[in-house]
Amino acid sequence: MLRLRGVSKTFGGLRAVQGVSLEVQPGEILAVIGPNGAGKSTLLNLISGLLSADSGRIEFLGQDLTHAAPEVRAWRGLGRAFQIVQPFPEMSVRENLMVGALYGTPGTSVQAARKVVERVLELSGLAGKAQHPAGELSLLEDKRLELARALATQPKLLLLDEVMAGLRPAEAQDAVRLVRSIRDSGVSVLFIEHLMPVVRALADRVVVLDYGQVIAEGRYAEVAENPKVREAYLGR
């Protein structure tokens, strides 16, 4: 459903992403891993449209979105959750999700948005916190809210950049279950993660970046054994 062909991005003289080609299949959970500075976040920003590619092509559901604005990509079904969660703190959890549901898809009626929000509250395990001010949640609930906000925009592919950062292992396991249930609800997932137990537990397939290039691709067990991958991690 997502296809990148030879995508590159340079910052000044720095080639942050160099000729990256990859695909995400419908229903798949794909992990992108690599050492610090490998270009993972840049790649995600190129997909969501926060950055525009210098060269290459980005297709989503058969359409060329290489030069589309971020909101157009979001409307087409590319959802994005952020590591740094910034809800409207005084508004309730439910109200925050209403904002996502109303603005994530053009032409959504209030009634349709309400339905989406109730479904997403259930899926994310936040139904019990629906009335709480979003600024008074625990870290794990913050992460749930950020995933729920992204889901409220009704994505077909969800992009996650280290959303588990800062969670304790038991909490991360909880978040892993949530991402699985998101996939089971019919949403594909592309995630960046530096916690290897999370990658092993979640990813159907792993793409490894180093110095902006894909150096390996395959199942977790395969890439973990790959000498190039080991060297990339040890060399930093």
Applying CB under 6 A, the residues found at the interface with ligand ADP are: 11, 14, 16, 34, 36-42
146/193 with CB nearer ligand ADP: 193
- Taking CB under 5 A as the rule, does residue 48 contact Mg ion? no
Q: What is the CA radius of gyration of the chain?
A: 18
Residue 133 binds which of ligand ADP, Mg ion, none (CB < 5-8 A, kind-dependent): none
Between residues 37 and 218, which has the closer beta carbon with respect to ligand ADP?
A: 37
> Cβ of 110: how many Cβ atoms within 10 Å?
9
Q: Which amino acid is at 145?
A: L
Paired tokens of 200 = 């092993």
Among residues 122, 131, 176, the alpha carbon closest in space to that of 152 is found at 122
What is the DSSP code string of 110-158? Answer: HHHHHHHHHHHHHHTT-GGGTTSBGGG--HHHHHHHHHHHHHHT--SEE
- Quick one: what does residue 37 bind among ligand ADP, Mg ion, none, with the CB cut-off 5 to 8 Å set by partner type? ligand ADP
Comparison of 35 and 155: residue with beta carbon closer to Mg ion? 35
Query: Residue from 8, 18, 41, 154 that binds Mg ion (CB under 5 A)?
Result: 41
Size of the site for Mg ion (CB under 5 A): 2
Closest to Mg ion by CB, 51 vs 102, is 51
Site for Mg ion, rule CB under 5 A: 40-41
